[in-house]
Structure 1
Amino acid sequence: MMLAHLVVLTVLCAVASARQAVVDLGYSQYRGQTLSNGVAQWLGIRYAAPPLGPLRFSAPQDPDEVYGVQDASQQGPLCISIDSYPIPGGASEDCLFLDVYAPAGFRGRSTKLLPVYVFIQGGGFNVNGNPYYNGTGLIQAADMGIVIVTFNYRVGPYGFLSGAEIREGGSLNNGLKDQIQVLEWVQKHIEKFGGDPDHVVIGGDSAGGASITLLLSAYNGRDDGLFHAAAAESQSFAAMYTVDEAQFAYDDLVDRTGCNIAADTLDCLRNLDIETLQSQNIATPLPGALEPPLYFYAPVVDGDLVPDYTYRLFEEGRFIRVPVIFGDVTNEGTVFTPQNLTSITAVNNFLRDQFPAITDSHLARIKDYYLQNVDSAQRYPNATRYWRPASNAYGELRYNCPGIAMSAAYADADAPSWNYHYSVLDPEDEASGDGVYHVVELNAIWGPDNVWYSEDVGSPPPASYYTSNAPIIPVMQGYWTSFIRSFDPNTFRYRGSPRWETWERGHRGDEGHRLFIRTGETRMESVPTDQWERCEYLISIGVELTQ
């Protein structure tokens, strides 16, 4: 008899769990899954209408109503990336989907809503570079006390094609507008998953980190109440064009697709079948450059959503004051810089390809800072003596120094600001020369089993994150989830972790205080004087380089 009661109780609990996993969003209902680890997930939720046909190159629109309960057990397709033809399986132009992870049955245990973490993936605005990350590890590290949202957004020309025709007949910076659409979706719907719309933390890596700075300074720092704190990893400061300056990319695409003979070139582009359009979705050299840049498409200064260069916006105080984290890894530039550079001229050409506005005077100063002692630089397999010095220059120019500038700007505005220097050493990566490479800390924040990678996107976690560097995972997750839960990385930090002090003023002489993160050695440090000197110069020319 007792066994029969247990069977009935088990069935009833399973039915209740299944019912609880169905969420009604008004425009559609989605049935998620309750996993054995105590986390519920809803995958592949449409947050905007398919950006097809007349909506190609347009701002995101609300999704249409769909009747019946939709299955939410599979992620939506990736947004199509540049330089990928034939279109790979699992990618589509119809790609505006999000995933939600939440503690299972939370609303049945308490009426208190949970903090929300919305993660913006990177990929240089040309690829969805960190898709499908699983929120389980972070939720468990947060004592089952947060809700997580991840999503895809349009990249390449689908998200960032610019020019007069786009401005007049379409919409600019649509990849960023997709992100805002997600944040507006969160305000409307996250309560149905147990999340608190009044406690939303945005985070992102690389281009996702750049998105954080762009959202903080959007509309000249207008606060629409869409988020309440922000954490940026390796915030990327690429060169930015104005709409008029970006016209060349539109014209080139029109020429390559044969739309140059059409009376309405934008209408022609919108009516191309996706295979034809994608076959011409390629990177070409920027004006004045020799080779295509690492990332061809990017947000443009449109005078509205992106009103000015990022450096200028923050220098002039045109940004939202919320608690923030900025930070970087030790070797930001290694995975981007060609290993076959054989001369100072080759290094200069590489930098010009990324920053066409860079001058001979700028390059001479960069040579003085980074390339004076290339003969004594440490050598690595398959790389010339110029590689690591050039990668140091590129890494600080695009990532490290912008992070320092952002923390300093927030300290000057008397807003809470924390900065980190991630330097967890992996033996294989140290031997190859990649070192502590760009966004490797994602493996510690999410947990190495929760990051997604494929043959074309992402890279597997370093092996040491399962062995000698496994202890850094709860440390990073403790800081991150504490910030998500309380807007302070210290409140719920992992037991025994050092207190993460704020940046303070962050000027040379005061040095700026950041968290040095390494397995068994995590501590506070000041920015070294020599890095301050280099960064002061690189920050000072940032607007000239259109960053």
Structure 2
Amino acid sequence: MVMLPVLLVTLLPTVSLPYGIFQGLNDGGLTKFLGVPFAQAGRFETPSTPKVLYGVQNATEFGPACPQQKLSTLSLQVFTVTIYPSISEDCLSINVFRPIASNSSSKLPVFVAQIHVSRGGFEEGNSRDVDISPVVERSIETGEPVMVVTPNYRVNAFGFLGGQEVTSAGIFALQWVQQHIAAFGGDPDRVVIGGQSAGAISVAFLLLNNRQNSNSLFRGAFMQAGSPLTSHPIAEGQSDYDGLVAANNCTGSTDTLNCLRHVPLDAFWGTVPFMTGDCDDEGTYLPAASTDQMARIGSLYPDDPTQGSPFDTGTANQLTPEYKRIAAFLGDWVFMAPRRFFLEHASRRQDTWSWMFGASHTSATPIWFPASGSDTTAVDALVNFINTLDPNQPAASSTANSSIFWPKWNTPSSAGSTSLLTFSDPDVINITTENFRVEAIEYLNNLVLDEALAE
């Protein structure tokens, strides 16, 4: 980080942490501290406390992105590629957004958001991908101010490499929040975590591991387009680890992990010639699925475009003859079924709310983090939840009036036994029931359970 002149520091917001003093910036109604290091870690190392930095450090720009997975030609055609100003393995930084009127004694509720690009998939992305400012700005407008924190985390093999040689990196960013957020004016006892896609899946796994005791790192959670997925022990990634070792000429080393740590970053992904291939029918594979089970799935997801995804669009959007059928199955297998299974069990012992937006993966981001002038129903519910753990209940100081009451997921409605806050489009919002594809989704969840019990 860059050290600033003393005269400039006196005019700008600063925060003092045990390992350094950081100067942020005032931007409109917000104060921002950007690119603050929250940990140091060498390649594949468990994070530890940052090194001490002397002098006042510049925290007015986002830190570097972590090394990204190289995109295939197909990915470049399908997705908008984010080009980051800088990429470095020294990338464990955090950003703090707070109301400009707040200070170190404000004790604001805190929203820790892992909101990366829609294509992230644990492979790429950065904490600067989504502008999180609207949440803070709207909280100021409604009189229930919150603070938002966005940590940067390692992705692809640098953050999620399997194998017995690799130790878990843990949850250091959330521990940092507990230790240091009070210095920024946040309340460590009122932390809500949130995420989108891969970030939401991470949040879901943290929920499953949260013991709800006095040492808990958070008290509530928000998930956008992601639920707990079937996961295997990290050691089952051994073949991936061994392949990476071989690709970087570390096979003969007595300490292969240490060898990988010393491979130059530019060469890490490998530039050697290689051979690769796929089976023609890769998409027909389902773990432990028999011929009869596959036939059953085929009947539950029929060759009828009017029943495919995008749903409720008749025969439109048929990119290929089987496109809508496959899209319906894939969406349920990866997202809908895990979410419903999670809710069915979690709602028995804790408060849960669920929502639905009739569009493609992560397209709901503008609803929850809207631009100026957009409908605020969703972001108001989120701000309420950060404050009170109830999307319908604003803080006592709030001036906002919710435009719709959002029942808990397992609350019976006139249409059925569950309730969803449903966005037909950003400005058309209703309460519906989760009564779609009940038999199909239950069958998919039972397949997953059968596989897990068989292992």
Please indicate the TM-score interval, normalised by the length of the shorter structure: 0.7 to 0.9
Q: Which residue of 2 aligns with 1:264?
A: 255
Q: Which residue of 1 aligns with 2:77?
A: none
Cα shift readout 1:270-299 (whole Å, capped 9, x = no counterpart): 1111111133699999xxx946xxxxxxxx
Shift in Å, 1:545: 5.3
Q: Which residue of 2 aligns with 1:75?
A: 62
Match among 361, 370, 374 for residue 438 of structure 1? 361
Q: Which residue of 2 aligns with 1:498?
A: 404
SS of residue paired to 1:412: coil
Q: Which residue of 1 aligns with 2:283?
A: 350
SS of residue paired to 1:246: helix
Q: Distance in 2 between matches of 1:281 and 1:88?
A: 26
Q: Distance in 2 between matches of 1:270 and 1:496?
A: 52
Q: Normalization by structure 2: what TM-score?
A: 0.83
Q: Distance in 2 between matches of 1:442 and 1:498?
A: 20
Q: Alpha carbons of 1:157 and 1:252: their partners in 2 closer, same or farther (altered >3 Å)?
A: same
* Structure 2 residue 123 is matched with structure 1 residue 135: no
CA RMSD of aligned residues (A): 3.2
Task: Tell me, yes or no, if the aligned pair for 1:34 and 1:40 is still in contact at 8 Å.
Answer: yes
Shift in Å, 1:408: 1.7
Shift in Å, 1:92: 1.8
* Structure 2 residue 48 is matched with structure 1 residue 61: yes
Match among 426, 431, 442 for residue 524 of structure 1? 431
Task: Tell me, yes or no, if the aligned pair for 1:408 and 1:506 is still in contact at 8 Å.
Answer: no
Q: Alpha carbons of 1:501 and 1:262: their partners in 2 closer, same or farther (altered >3 Å)?
A: same
Task: Tell me, yes or no, if the aligned pair for 1:75 and 1:132 is still in contact at 8 Å.
Answer: no
Task: Tell me, yes or no, if the aligned pair for 1:210 and 1:236 is still in contact at 8 Å.
Answer: yes
Flag structure 2 segments of 5+ consecutive residues without an equivalent.
1-6, 73-82, 309-313
Q: Distance in 2 between matches of 1:157 and 1:16?
A: 39
Q: Which residue of 1 aligns with 2:33?
A: 42
Match among 191, 197, 201 for residue 206 of structure 1? 197
Shift in Å, 1:243: 3.1
Q: Once structures 1 and 2 are overlaid, which stretch shifts more, 38-47 or 244-253?
A: 244-253
Task: Tell me, yes or no, if the aligned pair for 1:418 and 1:503 is still in contact at 8 Å.
Answer: yes
Task: Tell me, yes or no, if the aligned pair for 1:379 and 1:385 is still in contact at 8 Å.
Answer: no
Shift in Å, 1:543: 3.5
Structure 2 letter corresponding to 1:101: F
Match among 206, 211, 221 for residue 230 of structure 1? 221
Flag structure 1 segments of 5+ consecutive residues without an equivalent.
1-13, 292-344, 424-435, 450-469
* Structure 2 residue 419 is matched with structure 1 residue 483: no
Structure 2 letter corresponding to 1:264: D
Which structure carries more helix by proportion?
A: 1
Shift in Å, 1:84: 5.0
Q: Which residue of 2 aligns with 1:115?
A: 109
* Structure 2 residue 404 is matched with structure 1 residue 515: no
Task: Tell me, yes or no, if the aligned pair for 1:511 and 1:532 is still in contact at 8 Å.
Answer: no
SS of residue paired to 1:276: helix
Shift in Å, 1:64: 0.8
SS of residue paired to 1:105: coil
Q: Distance in 2 between matches of 1:89 and 1:357?
A: 45
Q: Which residue of 2 aligns with 1:390?
A: 326
Q: Distance in 2 between matches of 1:380 and 1:360?
A: 31
Task: Tell me, yes or no, if the aligned pair for 2:357 and 2:364 is still in contact at 8 Å.
Answer: yes
Task: Tell me, yes or no, if the aligned pair for 1:157 and 1:281 is still in contact at 8 Å.
Answer: no
* Structure 2 residue 418 is matched with structure 1 residue 418: no
Shift in Å, 1:471: 4.2
Q: Distance in 2 between matches of 1:478 and 1:376?
A: 34
Structure 2 letter corresponding to 1:274: L
* Structure 2 residue 89 is matched with structure 1 residue 106: no
Shift in Å, 1:236: 4.4
Task: Tell me, yes or no, if the aligned pair for 1:357 and 1:546 is still in contact at 8 Å.
Answer: no
Task: Tell me, yes or no, if the aligned pair for 2:34 and 2:94 is still in contact at 8 Å.
Answer: yes
Q: Which residue of 1 aligns with 2:4?
A: none
Shift in Å, 1:209: 0.8
Q: Alpha carbons of 1:219 and 1:407: their partners in 2 closer, same or farther (altered >3 Å)?
A: closer
Q: Alpha carbons of 1:156 and 1:360: their partners in 2 closer, same or farther (altered >3 Å)?
A: farther
Shift in Å, 1:45: 0.4
Structure 1 letter corresponding to 2:440: R
Q: Which residue of 2 aligns with 1:18?
A: 11
Structure 2 letter corresponding to 1:60: P
Q: Distance in 2 between matches of 1:59 and 1:351?
A: 38
Match among 3, 6, 22 for residue 30 of structure 1? 22
Structure 2 letter corresponding to 1:47: F
Shift in Å, 1:244: 3.5
Cα shift readout 1:186-242 (whole Å, capped 9, x = no counterpart): 111111111111100001111111111111122777773210100111114545332
* Structure 2 residue 151 is matched with structure 1 residue 151: yes
Q: Distance in 1 between matches of 2:126 and 2:287?
A: 25
Shift in Å, 1:83: 2.5
Q: Distance in 2 between matches of 1:545 and 1:18?
A: 61
Cα shift readout 1:158-208 (whole Å, capped 9, x = no counterpart): 111121222xxxx13x3xx2xx21111111111111111110000111111
SS of residue paired to 2:95: strand
Q: Distance in 2 between matches of 1:219 and 1:141?
A: 29
Task: Tell me, yes or no, if the aligned pair for 2:127 and 2:152 is still in contact at 8 Å.
Answer: no
Count of aligned residue pairs for this structure pair: 420
Q: Once structures 1 and 2 are overlaid, which stretch shifts more, 141-150 or 122-131?
A: 122-131
Q: Which residue of 2 aligns with 1:124?
A: 121
Aligned residues with identical type, % of pairs: 26
Cα shift readout 1:383-403 (whole Å, capped 9, x = no counterpart): 202111101111111111211
